[in-house]
Amino acid sequence: MSILVIAEHDNSSLKQATLNVVAAAKAIGGDIDVLVAGENVGAIAEAAAKAEGVNKVLVADNAAYGHFLAENLGELVAEVGKNYSHILTSAGTTGKDFMPRVAALLDVAQVSDIIRVESADTFVRPIYAGNAIATVKASDSIKVITVRPTGFDPVAAEGGSASVEQLDVVKDAGLSSFVGEEKAKSDRPDLASAGIVISGGRGMQNGDNFKMLEQVADLMGAAVGASRAAVDAGFVPNDMQVGQTGKIVAPQLYVAVGISGAIQHLAGMSDSKVIVAINKDEEAPIFQVADYGLVADLFEAVPQLEEELKKVL
Amino acid sequence: MKVLVAVKRVIDYNVKVRVKPDNTGVDLANVKMAMNPFCEIAVEEAVRLKEKGVASEIVVVSIGPKAAQEQIRTALALGADRGIHIETDEEVQSLEAAKLLKAVVEKEEPKLVILGKQSIDSDNNQTGQMLAALTGMGQGTFASEVVVEGDKVNVTREVDGGLMTVALNLPAVVTTDLRLNEPRYASLPNIMKAKKKPLDAMSPADLGVEIAPRLSTLKVEAPASRQAGIKVADVAELVDKLKNEAKVI
C-alpha cells in the first residue's frame, strides 16, 4: 500500500495536525509520501521531510495553491493521488474544503473525520455530533480520508530524512480567486493543538470579561476557547468556538468557565485528559463530565485562580 | 437568477440520539424528524436573495423517502417557489447525492446552488463540494456572507484562524455555516399557500443515477461515557488537585 498525506500548513509553518495525520497513515501501514502544496513552501517541505515515518515529500510550489483554493488543490491532489491506495489529510477547514472534490474527481467515496484505523479499509468515525460512533468499511480502490487530529498521537517532528521532489504540475481551474482574509493574531498556542485550553461560555456575560481568561491562559501557556453560546452572543470571534461545529480539542487540561455543557460543546472537548468546570449552577451538565468541579461565581473564582496559579507556577 | 437549494430530512436536532441495542444504527423509529439546521440556513439565504431582487426563482430539492416532501413543503412555506423530490427509500451517500443533484443542476441550470455544510446525522461535510467538482463549479464552503455582484459571487468563509473571502464565477456552489443568517419561521398563511406550490417527484433512475453505496457501516456504538469526578470546595483545593493529583500544571 502507498499512502499520500496532504500537509496542512499556512505557507509559513507546517501545522502539527500533519504529524497526527502521518500517525493515522502509519496505523494503516505502507509507504507514506507527503504532498506540500502552497506558495514558497521550501521550508515547510524540509520540515515535512524530517517527520518520523515519511518516505518522500512531493512539493507543488505555485501561486495557484497559495490560498489553498479548493478548485485548484482538488485537481492537483486528484492528479497526484490517483496512483496511491489512500489519500489522507487533516479534517481542518482546508481539508474539509478540498478533499471531497478529490473524491468526486476520482469517483470514490470519502470517509470523513476518522478517529481510529481498524484496518486498511475500515475506519471509526463519530456521527450524530459524537452521540454515536460508526465503524465504516470503504470498498473503493482509493480511500479518500479526512482525519480528526485529536484521534491520533502525532509522530515525532524530527528524526526522519525523506527525499524531497519538486512537482511541476500546475492546476489552475480558473473558477475562483482569493479576495482577502481576517486572521486573528495571537501569541497564544493554537487552540486545536494546545496542551491546556481555557474556555468561556455565556456566563462570561461579554467579550471584555474574556480578558480574565486570557490572563489565566497566559500564566499557564494555554489557548483560549469559547462555547457556541458565547460566539453566537458576539462575545468572541467564531474561530474560538470549541464544539461539534467548531474546533475539536483534546488537551491535557480543559477548563470550562461559565459553560453549561450543551451536547454540542461536549462533543468538541470530552476527549480532554482532565476537565475542570467552574459554574455557579451546580446542576449544569458540564459537571457530569468534569474531573474537578467548582460551584462558584466565576467573577470571584477566576481572579482567585489567577492568584493561586501565580503562587505555584 | 435561479437559485437551487438542496435540503435533507434528518432527526430533529433537539432529539436525544439513541444507538440501537443491536448496534446496527441509530434508533429513528417514532423519532421527530425535521429539516437539517444547515439546510434551513440555506433556504433562508435563498429567500433573502429573492427579497433583495437578486434571485428570481428558488427551486428546492430533496432526496429521500416519501416523507421528505414534508421538508420540501417547509421550504416552500419559507419562500421557495417550486419543489423537486427525488424519491428513494435506500441510503443515499454523499457521492450519489452529488450525482443526483448534478442531474438536477443540468436540467434546471441554476446560477447558484446553496446547501448546508453538513447534515447533523452523518456529519460528512461532502455533498456540496462533490457537486461543485462534478459540475465544474467553484465553491464557497462554510459561508458566513454571500454577496452576488454581476457574474461573480463573493463568499466569506469561516476558516481555522478567522475568515477568508473568495470570489467565484457563477454558476457556483455555496455551503452554509451557522452564522450566515438566522432562519425565519413559516407563517400559517404561508404554510397553507405552500400546499398549492408545484412539487415534482422523480426517481434516481429517472435521472439516470444508480444508487450504489461505496461505504458500509459495520456497527454503530454509543460513545464511551465519561464519569463525573469530584467537587472541590474552593480555588485553592482546585489548584492543589491539578498540581499534585492530576499533575497537569
Report the distance separating Cα B148 and Cα B135, nearest Å: 20
The per-residue pLDDT for A281 is 97
pLDDT higher than threshold 90 for residue A222? yes
Q: Which of B18, B242, B247 to mutate to test the interface with A (most CBs of A within 10 A)?
A: B242
Same fold, A2-166 and A191-312: yes
CA distance B125 to chain A (A): 7
What pLDDT is recorded for position A180?
A: 97
Q: Which of B133, B221, B228 is nearest residue A288 as measured by Cβ atoms?
A: B228
Model pLDDT, residue A113: 96
pLDDT at res. A259:
98
Query: Which CATH entry fits the domain spanning A191-312: 3.30.470.10, 2.40.240.20, 3.40.50.1220, 3.90.25.10?
Result: 3.40.50.1220
Domain ranges of chain A: 2-166, 191-312
CB-CB contact of B204 with B88 (8 Å): yes
Res. A245: pLDDT tops 80:
no
Backbone phi and psi for residue B26, each to the nearest 5 degrees, phi listed first: -100, 140
Is B249 in Cβ contact with A312 (below 8 Å)? yes
Say if residue A192's pLDDT is above 90.
no
Does B166 sit within 8 Å of A178, measured CB to CB?
yes
> Using a CB-CB distance cutoff of 8 angstroms, which residues of chain A are in contact with residue B163?
181-182, 238
What pLDDT does A272 receive?
A: 94
The confidence score (pLDDT) of residue A137 equals: 98
Residue A208 is predicted with a pLDDT of: 97
> Element (H or E) spanning B176, and its range?
strand B172-176
In this complex, the residue of B136, B154, B162 whose CB is nearest that of residue A183 is B162
pLDDT of B210:
92
- pLDDT, residue A56, reads 98
Given this model, what pLDDT does residue A244 score?
78
Distances (CA, A) of B249 to A78, A287, B233, B238: 45, 21, 19, 11
pLDDT above 90 as % of chain A: 89
8 Å CB contact of B95 and A253: no
B42 alpha carbon, distance to own chain's centre:
8
Could you say which residues of chain B have pLDDT below 70?
none
B4: Cβ contacts below 8 Å, ≥ 6 apart: B58, B59, B60, B61, B101, B104, B105, B108, B110, B112, B113, B114
CATH superfamily placement of domain A2-166: HUPs (3.40.50.620)
Half-sphere exposure of B100 (CA within 13 A, CB side): 26
| pLDDT class of A186 with cuts at 50, 70, 90 | confident
The pLDDT score that the predictor gives to residue A295 is 98
Q: Tell me whether 0.90 is exceeded by the ipTM.
A: yes
Model confidence band, residue A239 (pLDDT cutoffs 50, 70, 90): confident
Distance (Å) from the C-alpha of residue A206 to the closest C-alpha of chain B?
18
- Model confidence pLDDT, tens digit, residues B183-192: 999 999 999 9
* Angstrom distances, CA of residue B230 to CA of A289, A293, A294: 10, 6, 9
Residue range B2-245 forms a domain whose CATH class is alpha beta
For residue B227, give how far its alpha carbon lies from the nearest alpha carbon of chain A (Å): 6
Residue B216 confidence (pLDDT): 97
pLDDT band at A246 (very low <50, low <70, confident <90, very high): confident
Helix, strand, coil share of chain A (percent; to 5): 35, 30, 35
What is the rounded average pLDDT of the residues A29-48?
A: 97
**Per-residue model confidence (pLDDT) at position B224:** 84
The amino acid present at B28, given as its one-letter code, is L
Sorted by where each begins, the domain ranges of chain B are: 2-245
pLDDT of residue A248: 87
Mutate to test the interface with A, among B17, B148, B238, B247 (most CBs of A within 10 A): B238
pLDDT value of position A185:
73
pLDDT on residue B13: 86
Across residues A110-133, what is the average pLDDT?
Answer: 96
Average pLDDT on A190-208 reads 94
Tell me the mean pLDDT in the region A95-116: 98
Phi, psi (deg, nearest 5) at residue A215 = -65, -40
